[in-house]
């Protein structure tokens, strides 16, 4: 009986060593997770002339909302995020003087999220 138990435990040990030695397919050691693939990339010039009819202390905030609504409509996405560079470009002249129009590069990933960058 003792020999049967030792044989079983050896088989279990060998099986555990083999499972540790072989990584799962697609999960190799040191591999980074895949970045989300971009399905779509478009460049738009967004007119912000509607902000001129807004009180001066709300103009840039209104421009941000206009851009968000524009890309929700044109890219058919619910989640629209601004990059830091675009946000800084919008707020560059303060709350009273947003730009009249902005060129924006938009990328849409496979989950339907849209990320906005300033066009170069």
Is residue 102 one of the residues assigned to a domain?
Answer: yes
Q: Does position 15 have pLDDT exceeding 60, yes or no?
A: no
Q: Higher confidence at residue 53 or residue 38?
A: 53
| 83: in domain | yes
Whether 4 is covered by a domain: the verdict is no
Query: What are the φ/ψ torsions at residue 56 (nearest 5 degrees)?
Result: -60, -25
pLDDT of residue 40: 87
Q: How many domains does the chain have?
A: 1
CATH number of domain containing 107: 3.10.440.10
What is this structure's pTM? 0.68
In a domain, 20, yes or no: no
CA distances 71 to 15, 49, 78, Å, are 54, 16, 9
Q: Is 2 part of a structural domain of the chain?
A: no
DSSP per-residue codes, 7-49:
HHHHHHHHHHHHHHHSPPTT--TTPPPPPPPEEEEEEEEEE-G
Whole domain around residue 114: which residue ranges? 38-118
With respect to residue 14, please indicate whether it lies within any of the assigned structural domains.
no
Neighbours of 48 (CB within 10 A): 20
Q: Say if CB 67 and CB 46 are below 8 A apart.
A: yes
Angstrom distance (rounded) from CA 7 to CA 84: 62
Residue 5 lies in a domain: no
In a domain, 25, yes or no: no
pLDDT in tens, 74-97: 999 989 999 999 999 999 999 999
């Amino acid at each position: 009986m003792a020999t049967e138990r030792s044989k079983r435990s050896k088989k279990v040990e060998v099986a555990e060593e083999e499972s540790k030695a072989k990584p799962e397919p697609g999960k190799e050691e040191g591999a980074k997770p895949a970045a989300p693939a971009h399905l779509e990339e478009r460049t738009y010039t967004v007119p912000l002339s509607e902000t001129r009819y807004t009180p001066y202390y709300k103009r840039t905030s209104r421009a941000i909302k206009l851009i968000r609504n524009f890309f929700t409509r044109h890219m058919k996405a619910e989640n629209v995020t601004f990059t830091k560079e675009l946000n800084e470009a919008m707020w560059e002249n303060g709350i009273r003087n947003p730009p009249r129009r902005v060129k924006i590069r938009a990328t849409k990933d496979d989950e339907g999220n849209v990320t906005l960058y300033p066009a170069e």
